[in-house]
Amino acid sequence: MLRRLYDWAIDAAHKPHAMWTLGAISFAESSFFPLPPDVMLIPMSLARPQRAYVMALWCTVASVLGGLVGYAIGALLYDSVGLWLIHLYGYANKVEAFRTAYAEWGAWIILLKGLTPIPYKVVTITSGFAAYNIWLFLLFSIITRGARFFILAFLLHRYGEQAREIIEKRLGFWVTIGAAVLIAGIVAAVYLI
């Protein structure tokens, strides 16, 4: 099953709708979807390393736009949709502490958590809930999400062929590592927020 999913993502890189799929996942991940865009960005960049930077730019733009939706959920819909999403992901008892921390550390929270596997939707929704300055939120989101995706693009562009060979030899191992990092990010979000 893993191999079929990987092969589908590699094959999707050559389809006309590939960038839209990548953009949709990146957009949704910043506001409500649990999977990071890396699940599409990595195989697609491995399939077409010469387009890795374009894909990183696309992920950045879509992620920041999705972040605005997450911000709006926190600012406008927190009592209904926002609260439901926060409870769904198990962060309800951490929101007030996070909101208080925003008053002093908002820029660093956005910058650091945007680079990590901690779900970015938590940052976007809480930024809106905490009424963090939207222009600073946008600026820091562009910086942190761009850095995350462009570092990955650089590595995949530079080492794409070698990386593809290594990943394909031991796909299960690398997916397990990726899942462990994602789970560690979620656990860290629960305990650090």
Residue with tokens 């009424």: 131
Give the C-alpha separation, 133 to 137, whole Å: 6
Q: What is the pLDDT of residue 67?
A: 95
- Range from 84-88, 97-101, 184-188 carrying the lowest mean pLDDT: 184-188
pLDDT of residue 187: 66
Whether 33 has a pLDDT exceeding 60, the answer reads yes
Mean pLDDT in residue range 135-157: 93
> Percentage of the chain surpassing pLDDT 70?
84
Q: Which residue has the tokens 């950045």?
A: 60
Residues 118 and 141: their CA atoms lie apart, in Å, by 14
Alpha-carbon distance 72 to 56, whole Å? 24
Q: What is the pLDDT of residue 117?
A: 67
pLDDT of 114: 80
User: Contact at 8 Å (CB) between 124 and 29?
Assistant: no
Nearest-angstrom CA–CA distance, 56 and 100 = 33
Count CB neighbours of 127 within 10 A.
Answer: 28
Dist CA 68 CA 169 (whole Å): 39
Q: Do the Cβ atoms of 139 and 50 come closer than 8 Å?
A: no
pLDDT at 86: 73
| One-letter identity of residue 159 | Y
SS3 (DSSP) at 118: coil
More confident residue, 142 or 193: 142
Span 55-83, average pLDDT: 89
